[in-house]
Amino acid sequence: MAQPADHHFDVIVVGGGAIGLSTGYHLGKRKAKTLVLEQFNFKNQLGSSAGVSRQYRIPYPEEYMVQMALDAQPYWDELQTLTPRTLLDKVGTLWFGDPSVHSTEGNIAEAEQALKALNVPYTSLTAKEIEVQYHFRDLPETYTGLFQADGASIDFRATIETLYQACERDPYTTLRDESPVTGIEQDGKLFNVTTPKGVFTSEKLVLVPGPYIDGVINLLGFTIEATYWNMSSCYFKKTDPKIQYPTWFVFQNAIGSNGNQFYGFPGVDWDHPEYIRVAPDFVIDPLTSPEQRTLVPNPQELAYTAAWVRDHMTGLDPTPYFTSTCLIALSRIPDKELLIDFAPPYVPNHQNIVVYATGWAAKFTPFLGKILTELALDGHSTFDISPFKLGYNYFKAI
């Protein structure tokens, strides 16, 4: 059935978080008539765009991820021209801990090799140097570290608001919230996307609903292999107002059932300036579905984090004060973090369905929007996405 003219678009973006808004922004720059659908309100706290800060960093154990972080920098510079608010608070990235440990973030020794291979400057550190220069204490003597000066704390709230405002101003882009997608049907080469606010038609789809990805791609007849983390976060009050930390991540082996990986941020003017945010990079009880998420952090995760702050950080009261949660989907495919690709070939018209899912991608926000736009409009990207292919064996037809 023919739709009204204002219901027909070149591209429909499903998901209005940071990556969806970035995609809408870049599609608008290409003058593609675009609709961005968000199931909740824009700028909500219910998905992987929750929270107000993220880490931008270049260290990764894989060269292709280091390259992606480097390639993202000019797109952050471009986005910065759209707002007077500082999006990246450049304080550097500190990785430290047991050099033999492999975690969800990778491995220190492998990260050093990748940085060297791409001629990215960094400084190697001993445990004592980390304590003297960066305010940590009582670290095992065997710990090593690296400091990379381009790391930053991302004002993620300002990033999302900047992208939202850019999309709102753009004559080619339409934003609709409270519009969960309940159906996707194909009429020849057109997609008919059903929402409570009407049926919208497009020639291309970009699917970026964050941890709610399965609820959308199930409508197309396939499902993703993923687990879901309801990640905790907490803020600790400064007892020394002059104390400052870089963004950091510590690699450790677990002792008993204790959590072992933690990361943190500097104090910033735009996010509880008298406090330092520290978070566990683990979950005690992973979820099997995003519907299981809660806005209440796991108390044991907070307790482990507070104990680590008490034992190894200076200038902070080790009592968690403010807390928050963030829901994220993580791929079960070995060695895959981000998944960027077209839909599997057994999905009709798959070459016009672009999917991004899973992983920690806030640091790539403006660049990912560019990549997804190229895939949708050009059928390929100038950035090599081969490491991020979906692995079709893991995307089962249903």
Interatomic CA distance for residues 394 and 226, integer angstroms: 10
Please give the full DSSP string across 20-31, using - where no structure is assigned: HHHHHHHHHHTT
The pLDDT value recorded for residue 177 is 97
Is it the case that residue 322 has pLDDT exceeding 60? Answer: yes
Residue 255 carries which DSSP code? -
Is it the case that residue 256 has pLDDT exceeding 50? Answer: no
Q: How confident is the model at residue 1 (pLDDT cuts 50, 70, 90)?
A: very low
- Which token pair is 58? 């270049």
Are residue 244 and residue 373 in the same domain, yes or no?
A: no
Interatomic CA distance for residues 329 and 351, integer angstroms: 24
Are residue 118 and residue 185 in the same domain, yes or no?
A: no
Are residue 247 and residue 305 in the same domain, yes or no?
A: yes
Average pLDDT over residues 336-364: 95
Average pLDDT over residues 139-151: 97
- Which token pair is 381? 């990207």
Is it the case that residue 258 has pLDDT exceeding 80? Answer: no
Could you read off the pLDDT of 8-39 as tens digits, one per residue?
Answer: 999 999 999 999 999 999 999 999 999 999 99
68 located within any domain? no
187 located within any domain? yes
Are residue 318 and residue 171 in the same domain, yes or no?
A: no
Are residue 364 and residue 270 in the same domain, yes or no?
A: no
Are residue 246 and residue 365 in the same domain, yes or no?
A: no
Are residue 309 and residue 323 in the same domain, yes or no?
A: yes
Q: From the centroid of its chain, how far is CA 365?
A: 7
The pLDDT value recorded for residue 394 is 60
* Angle, CA 287 vertex, CA 280 and CA 396 arms, to 5°: 125
Secondary structure (3-state) at 343: coil
Average pLDDT over residues 241-251: 95
Could you read off the pLDDT of 146-187 as tens digits, one per residue?
Answer: 999 999 999 999 999 999 999 999 999 999 999 999 999 999
What's the total number of domains in the chain?
A: 2
* Continuous H helices in 119-225: 127-134, 156-169, 213-217
The pLDDT value recorded for residue 393 is 64
Are residue 263 and residue 393 in the same domain, yes or no?
A: no
Q: How confident is the model at residue 390 (pLDDT cuts 50, 70, 90)?
A: confident
| Domain's final residue, options 286, 315, 331 | 331
Residues 6+ apart with CB under 8 A from 57: 69, 93, 148, 150, 151, 152, 247, 363
Contact present, 234 and 326 (Cβ < 8 Å) = no
- Which token pair is 302? 């907070």
The pLDDT value recorded for residue 259 is 56
The pLDDT value recorded for residue 91 is 96
The pLDDT value recorded for residue 391 is 77
CATH number (domain holding residue 269): 3.30.9.10
Q: How confident is the model at residue 257 (pLDDT cuts 50, 70, 90)?
A: very low
Q: Indicate the helix (H) or strand (E) that contains 55.
A: strand 53-56
Mean pLDDT for the chain?
93
Are residue 118 and residue 258 in the same domain, yes or no?
A: yes
Q: Are strands 198-207 and 353-357 parallel, antiparallel or unpaired?
A: parallel
Q: From the centroid of its chain, how far is CA 24?
A: 17
Could you read off the pLDDT of 31-88 as tens digits, one per residue?
Answer: 999 999 999 999 999 999 988 999 999 999 999 999 999 999 999 999 999 999 999 9
59 located within any domain? no
Interatomic CA distance for residues 263 and 175, integer angstroms: 34
Are residue 251 and residue 211 in the same domain, yes or no?
A: no
Contact present, 111 and 60 (Cβ < 8 Å) = yes
The pLDDT value recorded for residue 2 is 44
**The model scores a pTM over 0.85:** yes
Residue 172 carries which DSSP code? T
Which sign does the torsion angle of CA 38, 39, 42, 47 carry?
A: negative
Share of the chain above pLDDT 70, in %: 96
The pLDDT value recorded for residue 253 is 81
Is it the case that residue 387 has pLDDT exceeding 70? Answer: yes
CATH number (domain holding residue 352): 3.50.50.60
Could you read off the pLDDT of 194-244 as tens digits, one per residue?
Answer: 999 999 999 999 999 999 999 999 999 999 889 999 999 999 999 999 999
Are residue 323 and residue 248 in the same domain, yes or no?
A: yes
Average pLDDT over residues 86-106: 91
| Domain's final residue, options 331, 353, 386 | 331
Is it the case that residue 5 has pLDDT exceeding 80? Answer: no
| Domain's final residue, options 331, 363, 387 | 331
Interatomic CA distance for residues 161 and 380, integer angstroms: 28
For residue 245, give its domain range: 93-149+227-331
Is it the case that residue 145 has pLDDT exceeding 50? Answer: yes
Is it the case that residue 290 has pLDDT exceeding 50? Answer: yes
Are residue 201 and residue 250 in the same domain, yes or no?
A: no
Give the residue numbers marked as catalytic. 57, 105, 263, 281, 326, 360, 363
Share of the chain above pLDDT 90, in %: 87
- 309 or 336, greater pLDDT: 309
The pLDDT value recorded for residue 260 is 82
243 located within any domain? yes
